[in-house]
Amino acid sequence: MLIYEIGASGRSARAQYPVTQYPAAGEIPEALRRKVPAGLPEVSELQVVRHYTNLSQKNFAIDTQFYPLGSCTMKYNPRGAHKVAGLAGFLNRHPLAPEQFSQGFLSCLFELQEYLKDVTGMRAVSLTPMAGAQGEFAGVAMIRAYHEKNGDTQRTEILIPTAAHGTNPATAVMCGYQVREVAVGKDGDVDIEALRAAVGPQTAGLMMTNPSTCGVFERKIQEIADLVHEAGGLLYYDGANLNAILGKVKPGDMGFDVLHMNLHKTFATPHGGGGPGSGPVGVGPRLEPFVPTPIVGKRQTADGDVYYWRDKTEIPDSIGNLSAFMGNAGILIRAYAYARLLGKEGMNRVGEYATLNANYMARRLEQAGFKLAYPERRATHEFIITMSREAKELGVNAMDFAKRLLDYGYHAPTTYFPLLIPECLLIEPTETESKEELDGFCDALISILAEARETPELLTNAPVTLPVKRLDDVKAARDLDLVWKQSSSRTI
Amino acid sequence: MPFVPHTADDEQQMLATIGVSSIEALFDEIPKALRSGVLKQTPTGISEMDLLRLMGERAKQDQVRLSFLGAGAYHHHIPSAVWDLVGRGEFMTAYTPYQAEASQGTLQLIYEFQTMISRLTAMEVANASVYEGASAMAEAILMAVRANRKSKSHRILCAGSVHPNYLSACRNIVRNQNLHIDVVDTGDQSGTLDMAQMAVYEGQDYAALVVPYPNFFGALEDVDALTDWAAAQGMLVIAVVNPVALALLKPPGEWGAQGADIVVGEGQPLGVPLSSGGPYLGFMCCKQALVRQMPGRIIGRTNDLDGKTGFTLTLQAREQHIRRAKATSNICTNQGLLVTAATIHMSLLGDQGLYAVACDCHGGMMNLLNKALGIPGVSRRFSAAVFHEVVLRLPKPAAAVLATMAGDGILGGYDLGLVSPALADCMLTNVTETKNEADIDAFVSSLRRACEG
């Protein structure tokens, strides 16, 4: 039932209304007034609370179950971080509040910038991008600004390995570039010869994820960096998989000129059913003059340190602001809190235990007869199994395995990504899962493999334990039904 | 080891299964020269108790007594139930509903959101939201250029009365796709676009006209005339609106003869705290005919194998994870959690509640305005009708007046000198339903002292 369908004409949640003290409409001209009410739900407060509580229970979430969605880093989101973001001083702070009423907030952001510089090995950090994709945009826009500043306008291409996230090519196009894809070799590393053939005076830069979406560390990264730099291009690091190497390797040391981080992944801020994210960018010396604004600066005064916003007046070559205000501030506060709770020792362990968990699962599943996409390689924080043999011999595909896992109470791994591995599942356990949970998931997959051999319809019909069975996506796209069209309430 | 559950035994068993002697061995594919040493700028970890104390002290520094700052972010009452429900782990710690069967809660909620926001704007369809208001406007501009079949133009005409940060963000976002935004000056008397001035742009090829409502100065544009004018020129109309105002004001779908084509805005006033500028949500609605050019997530209602109603991501062929370089945008998320808040907020307020809020905002603003005009040297800068925000001209530079008021713990408004030197003696002041008579009186007496002193 939709919220609309439990309403009744004239019902309302009166406690939420202001007691109107003023004559309606005031100076609003007649022609500019609304004539017919919009048609929002007419429900009581209890009905709202019950409806949305019940809806929430139709979701899988980290708080309710293991959620090994590859490349999404679904780790525990500490409640303490959530709590501090809800402190009144932070929650009610207006984005345009003067600096004298902003020192608490700004000091957190300044320190977060410093920590992020530290873990990435970059020269400067801007916290303003609101998601990974906007961080990518900022990064490639900076690459473009750099070449334009140098009068180097013949650079029209961004190189992207075929395993990359779809956001990478989409971002390059938003920044006015053409995309040239570079092949990935059988071992999961970029094909160096293909890169050598692709790079040239038209190359503006290369966008890369390392560890790659193949779940392996790109071993020839220094050679790649040298190739691109020698051709005059810059290197972009997609931080989607930063969790794998936190505390172990710094992208700045690998030769990257610019990166974005997904704080909703690596810094444990909640994913919120699809957002908000937070995608700060870090830059090396070449791109420092172009960072998006605002960033937080620190001034020493007789009364102590004063934090302030640095905008285009101080950073004239900046690519500028990307939103109305400073970005997803509430998420940045949570990331700062997470960084403080972990500290440097905790951060070192993130990559270690994320990697331990992934390698353990990969080994267990391999021993049980699953085919790893890269059996000769170390897994990083995630790994890929491919169901192409099962698809061929048993008629059950990767999606069937994914759907059956839901019946076992586990969220499915990422399916059919990266695109270059057929029938694949990309599994990322994260460091916050216990051995018992990993074993439970592996046991479930092993049991599903047995089902696939004996009663494959258990997979092809799955899920059967959830509020709905498989949905008709074709109908959804063909008979578009995006808004409820009936009148808002039952009429009396 | 915060949040890592492994015991020493677990670790040993896991390493034995893998067949290595230490965790360190798992990093043996990383070239030695790249391995980083210890972190230098990051402090050692602290307990949650110490974190709460530290952050409590910092948050306290930022509290103000009373704020009349608006300028694109507004302080409204948020029903207690909203964030109690949003804070449930099942909403907060889920991700993108790729596995629809395991995400029906989030999916149905977004479908309800799409329904509510479409109705509020009187548009046919909506998406599941984008980052926030300014980037929503940028996406609308890119969409209009793709969607306008009458014009191949890469130029957009935009009211100069749009929020200046929106305009700069849009320019920064669309610049590299060779799009240009031309700005129509705001009428110096009215604070709105002057229809006579629009004649200058007749016959010129623009993909769309951007109309803010209310505009940055709080004022109401002549939306019917602007919409009809743009339609006659073959331009699409992009409305940038405040959703709370739409409970009282004519919705964009009803502007002029044909209505606006694309409607975007900042959803923050619908149940989202100010929180220093984010996370907020940008909403985006359009006419049905344009839906395939709309970026971002879209949820559709469909059936499952048994014919039971269910909800799923749809029209994914527009999106980056399928279309890659040919996608409508690189956007990969919506603002799911904030959509959750806005949906619950709209459900609790309903038409009547949101109307009461809008009337209270407008009435409170008129009340403040009338009282402020009694102060010698204070006048109304623009003549056009306003919603819940007004530009006051002051007898001194606004920066000085606001600094004095800040000494009383009152944020009196936004210094328009930051936008234009010609408005250095003006401030933009907002009133919402959260301000009672005593608050308004405190504002007026503080302003009086600041103007006289």
pLDDT digits (tens, 9 = 90+) for A385-420: 999 999 999 999 999 999 999 999 999 999 999 989
B63 with A92: Cβ contact below 8 A:
yes
Let me know how many helices (H) and strands (E) chain B has, helices first: 13, 15
Asked if A440 reaches chain B (Cβ–Cβ under 8 Å), the answer is no
Q: A350-476 domain in CATH 3.30.70.940?
A: no
Model pLDDT, residue B292: 95
Question: What confidence category does residue B80 fall into, taking pLDDT thresholds of 50, 70 and 90?
Answer: very high
Contact list in A for residue B26 (CB cut-off 8 A) is: 352, 355-356, 359, 378
- Specify the CATH number of the domain B80-344: 3.40.640.10
- Specify the CATH number of the domain B66-76+351-452: 3.90.1150.10
Model pLDDT, residue B7: 98
Residues in chain A where the model's pLDDT stays below 70:
24, 487-492
Per-residue tokens: B68 = 């009349």
Across the interface, of B1, B177, B223, the residue whose CB is closest to A174 is B177
Strand order in the sheet with A258-261: A124-126, A281-283, A258-261, A234-239, A203-209, A157-161, A178-182
ipTM score assigned to the predicted complex: 0.97
Which residues lie below 8 Å from residue A182, measured CB to CB, with a gap of 6+? A159, A160, A161, A162, A190, A191, A194, A195, A198, A206
Mutate to test the interface with A, among B69, B275, B349, B369 (most CBs of A within 10 A): B275
Contact list in B for residue A123 (CB cut-off 8 A) is: none
Q: Give domain limits for chain B.
A: 66-76+351-452, 80-344
B73 with A325: Cβ contact below 8 A:
yes
Asked if A48 reaches chain B (Cβ–Cβ under 8 Å), the answer is yes
CA nearest to A67, candidates A416, A393, A382:
A382
| Distances from the Cα of A208 to the Cα of A31, A140, A262, angstroms | 55, 12, 15
B366 with A26: Cβ contact below 8 A:
yes
Mean pLDDT of B85-106: 96
Does pLDDT of B46 surpass 70?
yes
Does pLDDT of B120 surpass 90?
yes
Model pLDDT, residue A492: 29
* A 170-189 → B contacts, CB under 8 A: 170-176, 179
A84 with B165: Cβ contact below 8 A:
no
Determine phi and psi for B246, rounding to 5 degrees.
Answer: -70, -10
Question: What confidence category does residue B318 fall into, taking pLDDT thresholds of 50, 70 and 90?
Answer: confident
Q: Indicate if B80-344 has the same CATH topology as B66-76+351-452.
A: no
Asked if A349 reaches chain B (Cβ–Cβ under 8 Å), the answer is yes
Q: What is the spatial distance between Cα B267 and Cα B46, in angstroms, rounded to a whole number?
A: 36
Per-residue tokens: B249 = 């004001």
Q: Give domain limits for chain A.
A: 3-56, 80-341, 350-476
Asked if A491 reaches chain B (Cβ–Cβ under 8 Å), the answer is no
Which residues sit opposite B237 in a β-bridge? Answer: B209
* A 250-269 → B contacts, CB under 8 A: 250, 253-254, 268
Mean pLDDT of B149-178: 95
Nearest residue in A to B344, CA atom: A48
Under CATH, to which class is A80-341 assigned?
alpha beta
Model pLDDT, residue B402: 98
Model pLDDT, residue A489: 46
Asked if A304 reaches chain B (Cβ–Cβ under 8 Å), the answer is no
Q: What is the mean pLDDT of chain B?
A: 96
Quote the strand ranges of A167-283, DSSP E.
Answer: 178-182, 203-209, 234-239, 258-261, 281-283
Q: What is the spatial distance between Cα B254 and Cα A225, in angstroms, rounded to a whole number?
A: 55
| Percentage above 90 pLDDT, chain B | 92
